Structure 1
Amino acid sequence: MIEVYSNGMFFSNWLSASVTRSLDRIAGAFSLSVCPTGGLDSFGIFAGDSVEIRIDGKACLSGFVDKVSGSFSDGSHSVTVSGSEKTSDLADCSLESPLEWKDKDIAQIAGEICGAFGIPFSNRNGVPVGEKFKKFSVEPGGKAVDAISKLCKSRGILVCSDGLGNVSLLRPDSCPRGDSLKQGENLVSASADYSVSDRYSEYVVFGSGKASKKVRATAVDAQIGRNRKLCIVDSNSTEKDKVQARADFEKRSRIAKSLSVKCELAGWKCASGIWSPGVVCSVYAPAVGISDPVDLLVNSVSLTASESGTKTSLSLVYPGVYEPQPESKKAKAPKPGKADPWASIRKAVKGK
């Protein structure tokens, strides 16, 4: 059962409800519909109110109501309440201060940004954050979450929320195991998309330098039989190993993004409690081409309820989708030489 606690009261008997969380969004979202007994002004939940969504008595999302919509027609009357998690302020609002940090790591900077909006942050998963940044700055007017994401993406780290308004860090390659998803057992339905539109038979990367001394590296995707070549100029890479790392990354990343799976299960619960994103599941679904079990990362979860019952919809991808592009130091631009005031005259004389 889904209940909403707001303004000191519990609201239940919803006609339909959905709660969605994703690794690609810092804030979860919800939408609920009910047939009220009175008018909208006496409904009890209003736009801007703080709410807590509970499933079978356990809190699964804490946030605010963004919109309340009421409608009626001959013989019907409905109210829809929709909103988002507390962390939505990080996605919606601009960061005013501070805009620059020195000698601080990802966790320290993320903690300060979240703190500016009164949102708790912790690296509770113990994710290695790497070395401190000598200097990190953001442009005025930029969204708060974009600043954190920019930091994390460079080191293969995801910034995510727990649905209750708390922010933490996560590494896609070290997520906990979730329930196995098997056709004929717990899968109600499944679909899979296989795409090669962004894959190439060969990736050729050129590093910076003079044309005659450019560093070149290649990576071959043997699964693409056609002659499809992609050439990339990485102006920040000058060393052979860096250029090769970029070519290998392009191949791996595009292979990972070529598969996406959607699964539907009855109910909302798994072995660890209520389904949530950020777990790796073994998927077996021969009907959609997955004849051998494959480990996929749950990057989105939608919990829904309606007259037909309760269900969980999962979106899954390869963990490699979130692999960061190899870091390379920006090449220094050559210093401009002094202008020759006689250049035009020299050219004219030589042309005679």
Structure 2
Amino acid sequence: MSDMDNRVTLTVNNLEYGGWKSVEITADLERQFRTFKLDITWQWPGQTVDQRIKPGDPCEVKIGNDLVLTGYVFKAPIRYDGRQIGLTIEGSSRTQDLVDCAATNRPNQWQEQPLLSIVQALAMEYSLMVVNQIPETARLAKHTIVPGETVFQSIDRLLSLFRVFSTDDEQGRLVLAKPGSGGRASDALELGKNILSANAPMDHSQVFSEYRVIGQQKGSDKKSGAAVSEVESTAADLSFKRRRTTIINEGTALTFELAQQRAQWESATRMGRAQTTTYQVQGWRQSNGDLWRHNTLVKVTDPVLGFDGDMLISKVTYSLSAQGSVTTLQVAPPHTFDPDPTPPKKKQA
């Protein structure tokens, strides 16, 4: 594999920039935009700096011939001393605008619309396309923008209700993601072979024995009153030994079916998140030449942590420093991201 396969280039205003001394590029299934940070230094006196990259410039980031990010430059700080000049370029995917900017749709309410239609309308206010990987959802009785909320805050209320994750792709589009849609990694993660390090917090602070979802459902001419409008459903985690109850108050119209599905999803996904583990491997590419990618399944063999099976790569970071190139992979049990999870039976304590 040649050095050109791993050469990081930043294209701004049809000009291509390379030769970066340090690199950090991150994509995350649970974050709406990818990010990058690139550093370069010049020795001076003797070299001049023509800073043509400015905050707000549209950009593309590639590793070799692989496009990994389409978005904008957000920061371009420059620093110097008596010996050298340093330039850092930071930016993110186009979808950051959905996280930062207000939802301004008029009218600001939808009735009897499916999830995809509402998300597309919200994103289109900022000229962003939506890629849909999930089955068609039930129609939502009503969704109203809360004054002052951002586009993603409004979208996230819908995603939580229908147990859907959203992320971005390399073209800067919003993706309603199907877990594992990136396919399967060619290489496995194996202790003693390619794993450089591991970090498993095993944090159960957000795991409970009982999950209650409460909300309101839409009444009708024939049915009204508290007995009809109030919705509550419960799911229990029988593996948890002591009583710990959490209540999730949905702020939108709810049905008993959606409440039950949400409660079961919370139970399964929170236990999955408690097993989230971060691995590091050398290089950015697998043995077949493909980049390590997020939202892909990978076989993990790690007797220290008790893993021997498929995990989902939820986050990937490509980094370059004086120590070389490293990929950091965050993995979790696949059911953690499934909208209708069925947790596997435990094989370890």
The 1:120–1:294 alpha-carbon spacing in structure 2 relative to 1, beyond 3 Å, is: same
Query: Which residue pairs with 1:136 in the alignment?
Result: 143
The 1:136–1:231 alpha-carbon spacing in structure 2 relative to 1, beyond 3 Å, is: closer
Aligned residues of 1:221 and 1:251 also touching (Cα < 8 A): no
Query: Which residue pairs with 2:10 in the alignment?
Result: 4
Superposed, 1:1-352 pairs within 5 Å as 1-36=7-42, 38=47, 42-98=50-106, 99-123=108-132, 125=133, 127-172=134-179, 176-179=183-186, 180-200=188-208, 202-203=209-210, 219=236, 221-222=238-239, 224-225=240-241, 227-230=242-245, 251-270=267-286, 271=288, 273-287=290-304, 289-290=305-306, 292-322=307-337
The 1:3–1:173 alpha-carbon spacing in structure 2 relative to 1, beyond 3 Å, is: closer
The 1:171–1:69 alpha-carbon spacing in structure 2 relative to 1, beyond 3 Å, is: same
Shift of 1:120: 1.8
The 1:139–1:203 alpha-carbon spacing in structure 2 relative to 1, beyond 3 Å, is: closer
Aligned residues of 2:181 and 2:296 also touching (Cα < 8 A): no
Q: Deviations over 1:179-212 (max 9, x none)?
A: 4211122222222222333445x438698999xx
Aligned residues of 1:107 and 1:122 also touching (Cα < 8 A): no
Aligned residues of 2:123 and 2:130 also touching (Cα < 8 A): yes
Aligned residues of 1:91 and 1:144 also touching (Cα < 8 A): yes
Q: Distance in 2 between matches of 1:285 and 1:65?
A: 39
Aligned residues of 1:207 and 1:243 also touching (Cα < 8 A): yes
The 1:250–1:162 alpha-carbon spacing in structure 2 relative to 1, beyond 3 Å, is: closer
Identity of aligned residues (%): 23
Q: Distance in 2 between matches of 1:149 and 1:243?
A: 16
Aligned residues: 314
Q: Deviations over 1:261-308 (max 9, x none)?
A: 001112212358322221122211123x22x41322211111111232
Shift of 1:231: 6.8
Structure 2: where are the runs of 5+ without partners? 1-6, 216-225, 342-349
Shift of 1:149: 2.1
Q: TM-score, normalised by structure 2?
A: 0.77
The 1:174–1:6 alpha-carbon spacing in structure 2 relative to 1, beyond 3 Å, is: closer
Q: Distance in 2 between matches of 1:283 and 1:184?
A: 12
Aligned residues of 1:6 and 1:52 also touching (Cα < 8 A): yes
Structure 1: where are the runs of 5+ without partners? 327-352
Give the number of the structure whose alpha-carbon radius of gyration is greater: 1
CA-based RMSD: 3.4
Shift of 1:217: 6.7
Q: Distance in 1 between matches of 2:160 and 2:176?
A: 11
Q: TM-score, normalised by structure 1?
A: 0.77
Q: Distance in 2 between matches of 1:83 and 1:284?
A: 35
AA in 1 matched with 2:18: S
